[in-house]
Amino acid sequence: MAVAWEPIRMIEALRRVRREAATYRGLWSWIATVDHKRIGIMYGVAAFAFFLAGGIEALLIRLQLARPGGDVVSPEVYNQLFTMHGTTMIFLVVMPLASAFFNLVVPLQIGARDVAFPRLNAFSFWVFLVGALFLHSSILAGGAPNAGWFGYAPLTELPYNPGHGIDFWALGLQIVGISSMASAFNFIVTILNLRAPGMTLFRMPVFTWMTLVTSFLIILAMPVIAVALFQLEFDRLFGANFFNPTKGGTPLLWQHLFWIFGHPEVYILILPAMGIVSEVLPTFSQKPLFGYPFVIFSGIAIAFMSFGVWAHHMYTTGLGPVANSAFGVGTILIAVPTGVKIFNWLATLWGGNVSLRTPLLFAVGFVAMFVIGGLTGVTHSMVPSDYQQQDTYYVVAHFHQVLFGGALFALFAGVYYWFPKFSGRLLDEKLGQLHFWLMLIGFNLTFQPMMILGMLGMPRRIYTYPEGMGWDQWNLLATSGAFVIALSVLVFMVNVVRSLRRAERAGADPWDGRTLEWSIPSPPPPYNFARIPVVRARDDFWHRKYMEDAQGRPVPVVAGGSGEVESGAPEEEIHMPSPSFFPLITAIGFPIIATGFVFAEYAVVAAGAVVLLYGLYGWALEPATE
Amino acid sequence: MKRSFSIRWPLFGLALLVGLLAVACETSTPQNTFAPAGDVADKQRQLFLMAMWPAVAILVGVEVVLVLSLILFRRRRGRQLPKQVHGNTPLEVAWTLAPLLLLLGLAVPMVALIFELGRNPKAEALPIRVIGHQWVWEFQYPTFADGQGRPLTIIGTPENPPELHIPAGREIALEITSADVIHSFWVPRLGGKLDAIPGRVNRMWIVVNEPGVYPGQCAEFCGLLHADMRLKVVVHETEADFEGWVREMLSSGSGGGR
């Protein structure tokens, strides 16, 4: 091992970094943090809190529909519930959970000390949090939004929706969108510029690759919804005329803009999940990912194609046979790269040495359920057949297969996989398996009946239905399944709390990992890598532990390879960013401005702008390191 | 490794589903998209099945390989580390091209049916205007006018949904629009839905072969009472029956405008 560096100077540098990281203590240390790991944890905790809120909304929806003529909630409350459920789960749960993993994992996988712009990263989190809270504050201000997560105009226009709910929705999503944009730029720069020496693009772990692709999708898709939301608010606040047909506006314009954003959004939600699965399956099979370049390129292909299929959400709006045929064929073809990924995951498991631990179970659950989502997607990409299925429970079943059976299962795989890295403790295996099986069973009980409900002609977004439609028992079954899912989430929470208190210590590399994050201690020190590693191969850490013999079988490297980081050039000094309050102050400006617009109090808008500018100036003038 | 959560649980769930499926077959399903009563709905069902059966085959294939790989390659004590296989290009090409060909094969009948259903209605088709309101449907028959020259008009209430009367066997040309927000006209056993969009007229044709009463409902979320925006299509066996109904409505005056 390297002896060229000077141990004493090194230790001195590390001590100084630890001292700096402890400038603030307790709660303040979290509020002022710019450490990607702490920001990642905050993203995760906040997203989980919103997951519980969205889950309770889902349970109320299912209670209302458990039997015909349900009267658990009023029609108005029901409409608010499904609007908030969809909006919350997409923007405040799956996206920030993915952000949590971007933050926690990507800098470690590429051998970096932090992200490229640490304060911008803190800003992303705080803007997300205040935006989400602003959206939820509509409940206190006279009612949550009630026009669906898709908010089709002209139902969202003032004549049909005079309350403030829609304003909170539009401006809240606008704020959350700022967070996504900032974070996406940050991760693109981080991944392109901060990779350790030797980590070429085609040595990058797949999760990092999918983070990069997702970030590009975000910066291309988010501005479209931002434009649409601004147009909607101009209609509502200033009497503009984009979507209101009584004054000559075009309601379909909203649908085009919304889905030009909305379909890439689906892949923004699923590509990080695919990245996680592409990390978990190889690790627990002790085999490299099968067809690495094909998995990467199909991810990129999916991202490109996702911008050309938006009108499959609009087959029944009367676009005409030519447009419907073009979008129909485009949508069918997106199944090809998706299929390639699934086949490569199967080939990764095949011939492996498969350990059935909880992360692997969730990853396998992802493959098993996501394939149903993909195939049901093919059935209703068939345009004339979709004339029947559009806006029915068949579609509800389909996208829950993708976003719950897919994305959420993979995110839970990620939680079980990386939890020991960041807490230093393993999650309990028995409770983990119980969680998995309950969730898998509950999921199938809830969403497979919905496929049948759709075929039996049950539309979405109805607050009730009469007897005699043949829907009763399927709805009851779906409701019972939802409570099994709720139980599984409780098991998960118990597991986390218990494991944090008294579980076994994880060690640096509990799963015999393949990528760089497993080469450093658990939890990682603030500076991550004492010395920046030099990367020589894809799955670099694995290759430090094992050599391949002539038949391609791995043989352990004899002299203590595991857990040790090789030296690069000697470190002069470890440069770490200082904590800062200004990202939070800047973020707080946004909801104040938005509140001013909702209630047409322009003094409040000005006050918010002052806060925002104060934060920005403070940020700009603050020295980066003390 | 713990094995207490064996295969029994999933099997139990499967058995429950099969049992419920059996129960469901007994009950009436008036909006069943798989019980077409007209040409349009029947063609749509056939196209769905054409995509569904290959999908089911692929699903079973993937799930079997997935479960097999967990059983066959499960980690056991003393097992050697596996050969580090990085990929196989011919295999990648094969599982890219095979689905591509299958999907393009599906695209051909799909495009054909899009154009068939998207054609203009025939000249002899019976025109009916369908107008969506929050939360009720209105139907106008421009070819039947009352004494003042107003078209025969049927409109209901959320509590008392309107009936759309048509003759069996004759092509119906629907002109669908909305007076306020976006709705979607849908009678599942007669055909797929088409949106009712303010400021725009969408056209669709249907032919119903079996006389009877077919419920339908608004399929696009349209606000508070979206769920109550229902309708019934009454299909008369003969033209004479249907014309009798038209005369009755015109003479009783109950079919007048709003």
Has domain A7-579 been given CATH number 3.40.109.10? no
Which of A 298-337 lie inside 8 A of B, CB atoms? 316-318, 320-321, 324-325, 328-329, 332-333, 335-336
Asked if residue B142 has pLDDT above 60, the reply is yes
Asked if residue A1 has pLDDT above 50, the reply is no
Test the A interface: residue of B103, B134, B135, B225 with most A CBs within 10 Å: B103
- Give the C-alpha distances (Å, rounded to integers) separating A353 from A205, A282, A307, A409, A433: 20, 10, 39, 22, 19
Q: What is the mean pLDDT of chain B?
A: 90
A22 DSSP assignment: T
| CA of A50 vs chain B CAs: smallest distance (Å) | 25
Which of A 56-75 lie inside 8 A of B, CB atoms? 75
| CA of B248 vs chain A CAs: smallest distance (Å) | 30
Lowest-pLDDT choice from A8-17, A177-186, A530-539, B68-77: A8-17
CB contacts of A388 in chain B (<8 Å) are 33, 41, 44-45, 48, 188, 191-193
Between A85 and B159, whose confidence is greater? A85
| CA of A17 vs chain B CAs: smallest distance (Å) | 40
Say whether B66 and A364 touch across the interface (CB within 8 A). yes
How many interface pairs between A and B have CB atoms less than 8 angstroms apart?
317
Q: Nearest Cα to A94, choosing from A246, A255, A274?
A: A274
* Residue A247 banded pLDDT, cuts 50, 70, 90: confident
What was the pLDDT predicted at A13?
A: 63
In chain A, the residue whose alpha carbon lies closest to the alpha carbon of B65 is A346
Say whether A154 and B227 touch across the interface (CB within 8 A). no
Asked if residue B4 has pLDDT above 70, the reply is no
* Residue A263 banded pLDDT, cuts 50, 70, 90: very high
The arithmetic mean of pLDDT across residues A617-625, rounded, is 83
What was the pLDDT predicted at B19?
A: 73
Q: Is the bond leading into A523 cis (omega within 30 degrees of zero)?
A: yes
Q: Are A107 and A191 in contact (CB under 8 A)?
A: no
Q: Which residues pair with A308 in a beta bridge?
A: none
* Residue A14 banded pLDDT, cuts 50, 70, 90: low
SS (H, E, C) A151-198: CCCCCCCCCCCCCCHHHHHHHHHHHHHHHHHHHHHHHHHHHHHCCCCC
Phi-psi region of A286 (alpha: psi -120 to 50; beta: other; left: phi over 0): left
| CA of A173 vs chain B CAs: smallest distance (Å) | 21
What was the pLDDT predicted at A559?
A: 55
Burial class (CB in 10 A: 0-12, 13-18, 19+), A290: buried
Structural domains of chain B ordered from first start: 126-252 (2.60.40.420)
What are the tens digits of pLDDT across the range A566-591? 444 445 567 778 889 999 999 999 99
Any alpha helices (H) in A32-146, and if so which ranges? 36-65, 75-87, 95-109, 118-137
Determine the Cα–Cα distance for residues A191 and A463; give it in Å rounded to an integer. 46
What was the pLDDT predicted at B76?
A: 87
Asked if residue B258 has pLDDT above 60, the reply is no
In chain B, the residue whose alpha carbon lies closest to the alpha carbon of A475 is B20
Asked if residue A65 has pLDDT above 70, the reply is yes
Please state the domain extents for chain A.
7-579, 581-626
Determine the Cα–Cα distance for residues A309 and A332; give it in Å rounded to an integer. 9
Task: Provide the edge-to-edge strand list for the sheet that holds B212-217.
Answer: B163-167, B230-236, B212-217
Between A567 and A167, whose confidence is greater? A167
Determine the Cα–Cα distance for residues A491 and A494; give it in Å rounded to an integer. 5
| 3-class DSSP state of A473 | helix
Q: Give, for B5, the enclosing helix (H) or strand (E).
A: none
Residue type, B193: K
* Residue A6 banded pLDDT, cuts 50, 70, 90: low
In chain B, the residue whose alpha carbon lies closest to the alpha carbon of A380 is B48
Of how many residues is chain B composed? 258
What whole-number percentage of chain A has pLDDT above 70?
93
| Angle separating helix axes A429-455 and B8-26, nearest 10 degrees | 20
Q: What is the pTM of this model?
A: 0.93
What are the tens digits of pLDDT across the range A431-440? 999 999 999 9
CB contacts of A440 in chain B (<8 Å) are 10
